[in-house]
Amino acid sequence: MNTIEFQQDGLEEEAIRRYSSDENPAITGHTPKGYMTGEEFFSKLKADVTKMYKDRGLL
């Protein structure tokens, strides 16, 4: 995987959309229990991006 493939697949835009929504607690780190740690945030981000790739048959 390289940056060019990532951009061409439109995954970058999708990830930005998912993580920039005011309704999405991931970008602010705020959850009903308080704020997520950096580890929790990046774990969720990695899982979501991995799922996007698998959904498109790229992994």
**What is the DSSP track for 1-59?**
--HHHHHHTTHHHHHHHHHH-TT-HHHHTEETTEEPPHHHHHHHHHHHHHHHHHHTT--
Max Cα-Cα span within the chain: 37
Range of the domain at 42: 3-55
**Could you list the pLDDT tens digit for every one of the 59 residues in the chain?**
444 454 556 666 666 666 555 555 555 555 555 566 778 778 888 888 888 888 888 87
pTM greater than the 0.75 cutoff: no
What is the per-residue pLDDT across 2-17, written as a single tens digit (0 to 9) for each? Answer: 444 545 566 666 666 6
Count structural domains, the chain: 1
Per the DSSP assignment, residues forming a β-bridge with 30 are 35
User: Cα separation of 54 and 34, whole Å?
Assistant: 30
